[in-house]
A and B are shown apart, each in its own frame.
Chain A
Amino acid sequence: MDKNINFKHGLVDMLPMTIASIPFGLMVGALAAQKGLDGWQILMMSAFVYAGASQFMALDMWSTPVAIWAVIGATALINLRHIMMGAALRAHIYHLPSYIKWPYIYLMSDEAWATGIKASAKNKLTPAYVLGVLIPFYFIWVFSSLIGQAFGNLINDPAKYGFDFVFTAVFIAMTMGFWQANRHSMALVVAAISAVLSYHYIGGVWHIFIGGLLGTITAAIMVKPEELN
């Protein structure tokens, strides 16, 4: 059960998400090109902001001149989920040295976060494993968004090849990994229903926060007293 997981284990566990991030990176890069960003600018955005969903949305609302505060505000809103994610990650990475912990927090993509927490259920996370999770995924993301910017016009109809569904498929597949791992199916049903409802009646990106929060609260309420320790 407790084996010393290394760089290669991290890389392999992340590989499906790394591969799936390529079309998504290409799409973000292509969108950046259409909005007039040059190679350096998309490089900076992918390398420093490093949050695919919010980059996609920011570029979608990008205009010339850019509405600075609106874009920054929307980015904060779509990334609110990171607050919950960081809270959930803490117990799994607390034992790691600072030079691993801080990069993990800075580069906490949904994928790296979910992979780390899932692996941590079986084995204690090691510095090498975390680097295996973080590094290849990071560089593939930055690189594919750059390529997308350079060849922006090649992918003008992402839906034709199902590229637009890659993101959805990745997240659904990752969710199922947690579904097996816990007994709180009701919480996930509540999360899904409330996310759909708030998406249609409130709009914006609140569904991420509302669904995540209501699902989580459901689990905390429904747990039986004898299961608490």
Chain B
Amino acid sequence: MDINIWAVEITIFGMAIVTFMTRVSGYWLISKFTLSGRVKVALEVMPGAVLLSIVAPTALTSGIAEAIATVVTMALALRATLLVAITGGVLSVVLLRFAIS
């Protein structure tokens, strides 16, 4: 009965703890290893691989408008600043959805 009053706070607190644990554990774990050449290459490539894996499913398979807007964002990111790329990507998805629907 009593726990129900604080259920939301307990959940938030638990989320905060597990999230911090994921953030600190990789940092801590890697200190236990000597970094050989291949591990260094792996750590160098990891940022791009993780970022891309987060969005690839939504970016590439949620629809034709999203897929085209993803290509637009990629092209802009190679030529212009991040802000231009992000704004251009969002604007193009709005226009494409409007045009397609």
Contacts and interface: CB of A to CB of B under 8 A. Distances in A.
Interface of A: 15-17, 19-20, 37, 41, 44-45, 48-51, 53-55, 58, 65-66, 68, 71-72, 75-76, 79-91, 105-106, 108, 110, 113-114, 117, 159, 161-163, 165-180, 182, 184, 187-188, 191-192, 194-196, 199-200, 207-212, 214-217, 219-221, 223, 227-229
A11 to B, nearest CB: 13
A217 to B, nearest CB: 7
B25 A192 contact: no
Given A87-B26, A195-B57, A170 B41 contact: no
Contact of A168 (B21, B39, B58, B94): B58
A223 B41 contact: yes
B12 A170 contact: no
Given A41-B9, A87-B46, 14 more contacts: A41-B8, A51-B19, A58-B15, A68-B11, A71-B14, A81-B22, A83-B26, A169-B85, A192-B52, A195-B56, A209-B53, A216-B45, A219-B45, A223-B41
B52 A177 contact: no
B49 A211 contact: yes
B86 A211 contact: no
Interface in B31-83: 31, 35-39, 41-61, 66, 69-70, 73-74, 76-78, 81-83
A165 B9 contact: no
B77 A173 contact: yes
Contact of B47 (A113, A200, A209): A113
Nearest to A113: B47
Interface of B: 4, 7-16, 18-31, 35-39, 41-61, 66, 69-70, 73-74, 76-78, 81-83, 85-86, 89-91, 93-94, 97
Given A105-B27, A220-B41, A212 B50 contact: yes
Nearest to A83: B26
A84 B48 CA distance: 12
Nearest to B80: A173
B10 A53 contact: no
